Amino acid sequence: MIFFWLVLILGIVLIPFGIEGTFIIVADALVYGLLTGFERVTLLFLGILLGIALLVELFEFIFGGILAKKFGGSKWAIAGAIIGGFIGAVIGTPVMPVLGTFIGGFLGSFLGAFSLELFHSMNFEQALKVGTGAFIGAVGGKVTKIIVAVVMVVMIGIKVF
């Protein structure tokens, strides 16, 4: 039982480092369900957890684009924030495993939104503002994901006890 809880906590702790902790939480609940015959952690409950994990992943992925738009960005900036965040995370991973994914995603969102907005508007100040919005969105998406992961762990705790 202690190992089960340690893995749940690990799922939360790994999120800031770019590892998909919500899926670790779901996998841990699945193992618990398998070991206990799905008495408390049912397949329906696991489906709900998986749905939550998928939604928060999607939210985290697009939130930088949403805030780029909120900060006055064009469609170019929104696409740049989303694509830049993904590319930054991919490039950052081999440079500095785990932490590089995290930092690369934030910087990639900023640079993607900034670059494409600058290309589109030719206005440096506007592009800087939009890039900042994308960066804040990327950080906000990560923080939201951590909060949701904590809620998932609490949901599991309620089902298990």
Mean pLDDT of the chain: 92
| CA gap 1, 154 in Å, rounded | 15
Burial tier of 3 (Cβ tally within 10 Å: 0-12, 13-18, 19+): exposed
- Please report how many Cα atoms fall inside a 13 Å half-sphere around the Cα of residue 121, on the Cβ side: 21
User: What is the percent of the chain with per-residue pLDDT over 70, rounded to a whole number?
Assistant: 100
Render pLDDT for 11-45 as a digit per residue (tens, 0 to 9). 999 887 777 899 999 999 999 999 999 999 999 99
Does residue 101 carry a pLDDT above 90? no
Band of pLDDT at residue 131, cut at 50, 70 and 90: very high
Range of the domain at 15: 2-160
- At residue 25, the pLDDT reads 98
Q: What is the pLDDT of residue 127?
A: 95
What is the average per-residue pLDDT within 112-122? 95
pLDDT the model gives residue 54? 97
Q: How many domains does the chain have?
A: 1
Task: Give the pLDDT score at 4.
Answer: 95
The predicted pLDDT at position 8 comes to 96
Q: Are 60 and 141 in contact (CB under 8 A)?
A: yes
Note the pLDDT of residue 116: 95
List Cβ neighbours of 134 (8 Å cut-off, separation of 6 or more): 64, 65, 67, 68, 71, 73, 77, 80, 81, 84, 85, 109, 110, 112, 113, 114
Per-residue confidence (pLDDT) for residue 16, from 0 to 100: 79
Provide the residue type at 56 as one letter.
V
pLDDT at 103 over 80: yes
User: Residue 40 has what pLDDT?
Assistant: 95
The whole-number average pLDDT for the span 142-147 is: 94
